């Protein structure tokens, strides 16, 4: 059974992400954990009575149970079961504890929350979870993204770093769902790959030898954001997958100020694989 965590703030984006994930895993036996977190600012804790806090959490539990009922009515799938939960605390801290406790295999969530600003790639909660949760892959789904069977997955890599079997396993699992083709993308700043890059590419190809695979060496004609975006558009990529490690492309994006518009507005779901 696959255990999937579905954080929700009851926004339209969260609902869209839930529906996409249910359809993506429609043929798999899964347990979905619907998680809502409630936070009380430290400056307000003293003014919160136990009764008031209990009322807040009870109301949140009713909302999550209502959401669960709505999902079960929408998703009549005997392969799926659901558990609704409400936890007091910061979302990223709660998820960090939740993943090992419930043996979570995947976190699936929207790219923005209820107050998501237009033009921002990831909402503050999503960005914090990317940075903090290092032991579970995260699938971020753009707002209003309609499910289509994923036939092609793009896997950009600079090939400067060895990808181990554990990292690639998450990519393999995703491709296995619908026998998707994996397209390795390398944006090359030099005329040829270095010996190290060639070696890492060969290791990657060996890991993925049982999948339909292609390798694309893309000349560096623009920013990496633009190059990847163009690749997604030109080859009709359905899902983007990348490994998140320190000083990587993803890390650079997440270091951008949240209030700054980021040009790399993804149009497809984005699987972030932990290092």
CATH assignment at residue 172? 3.40.50.620
Strand, helix or coil for residue 141: strand
**Of 90, 106, 141, which residue is a domain's last?**
141
C-alpha–C-alpha distance, residues 149 and 163, integer Å: 27
Number of H helices, E strands in the chain: 8, 10
**Of 122, 141, 160, which residue is a domain's last?**
141
Residue 11 domain boundaries: 2-141
Ranges of the chain whose pLDDT falls below 70: 40-49, 112-127, 221-222, 245-265
- The tally of CA atoms less than 13 A away on the side-chain side of residue 233 is 9
Q: What integer pLDDT is reported at residue 247 of this predicted model?
A: 54
| Buried b / exposed e along 34-55 (16+ C-beta atoms within 10 A) | bbbbbeeeeeeeeeeeeeeeee
85 and 156 inside one domain: no
| Contact in structure between 139 and 110 (CB atoms under 8 Å) | no
Q: What integer pLDDT is reported at residue 201 of this predicted model?
A: 93
158 and 207 inside one domain: yes
Q: What integer pLDDT is reported at residue 125 of this predicted model?
A: 64
**Inside any domain, residue 249:** yes
**Inside any domain, residue 273:** no
Plot region of 147 (φ>0 → left; ψ -120 to 50 → alpha; else → beta): beta
168 and 209 inside one domain: yes
113 and 28 inside one domain: yes
Q: What integer pLDDT is reported at residue 173 of this predicted model?
A: 96
Structure tokens belonging to residue 153: 């997955």
**Inside any domain, residue 274:** no
75 and 99 inside one domain: yes
12 and 125 inside one domain: yes
C-alpha–C-alpha distance, residues 45 and 39, integer Å: 10
184 and 109 inside one domain: no
**Inside any domain, residue 246:** yes
Q: How many domains are there within the chain? A: 2
Q: What integer pLDDT is reported at residue 27 of this predicted model?
A: 96
C-alpha–C-alpha distance, residues 172 and 213, integer Å: 11
130 and 11 inside one domain: yes
113 and 243 inside one domain: no
Residues paired with 108 in a beta bridge: 139
**Of 97, 113, 141, which residue is a domain's last?**
141
70 and 124 inside one domain: yes
162 and 93 inside one domain: no
Contacts of 100 (CB under 8 A, 6+ apart): 135
Structure tokens belonging to residue 62: 């009713």
Q: What integer pLDDT is reported at residue 80 of this predicted model?
A: 96
Q: What integer pLDDT is reported at residue 256 of this predicted model?
A: 45
Pairing of strands 239-244, 106-110: unpaired
178 and 108 inside one domain: no
Q: In what order do the strands lie in the sheet with 2-7?
A: 80-88, 30-38, 2-7, 106-110, 138-141, 270-274, 239-244, 152-156, 181-188, 213-219
**Inside any domain, residue 147:** no
Q: What integer pLDDT is reported at residue 147 of this predicted model?
A: 96
Backbone angles phi, psi at 88, to 5 degrees: -85, 125
């Amino acid at each position: 059974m696959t255990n999937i965590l579905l954080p929700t703030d009851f926004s339209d984006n969260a609902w869209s992400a839930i529906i996409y994930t249910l359809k993506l895993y429609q043929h798999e036996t899964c347990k979905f954990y619907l998680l809502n977190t409630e936070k009380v600012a430290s400056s307000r804790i003293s003014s919160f009575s136990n009764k008031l806090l209990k009322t807040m959490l009870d109301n949140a539990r009713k909302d999550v149970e209502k959401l669960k009922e709505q999902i079960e009515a929408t998703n009549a799938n005997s392969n799926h079961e659901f558990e609704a939960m409400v936890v007091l605390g910061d979302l990223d801290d709660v998820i960090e504890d939740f993943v090992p406790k419930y043996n979570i295999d995947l976190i699936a969530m929207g790219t923005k929350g209820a107050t998501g600003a237009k033009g921002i790639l990831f909402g503050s909660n999503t960005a914090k979870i990317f940075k903090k949760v290092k032991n579970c892959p995260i699938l971020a789904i753009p707002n209003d993204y309609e499910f289509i069977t994923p036939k092609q997955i793009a896997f950009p890599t600079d090939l400067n770093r060895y990808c181990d079997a554990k990292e690639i396993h998450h990519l393999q699992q995703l491709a296995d769902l619908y026998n998707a083709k994996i397209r390795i993308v390398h944006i090359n700043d030099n005329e040829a790959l270095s010996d190290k890059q060639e070696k890492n590419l060969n290791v990657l190809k060996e890991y993925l030898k049982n999948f339909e695979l292609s390798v694309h060496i893309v000349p560096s004609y623009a920013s990496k954001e633009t190059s990847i975006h163009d690749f997604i558009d030109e080859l009709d990529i359905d899902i983007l997958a990348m490994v998140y490690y320190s000083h990587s492309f993803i890390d650079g994006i997440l270091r951008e100020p949240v209030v700054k518009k980021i040009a790399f507005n993804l149009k497809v779901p984005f699987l972030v694989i932990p290092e």
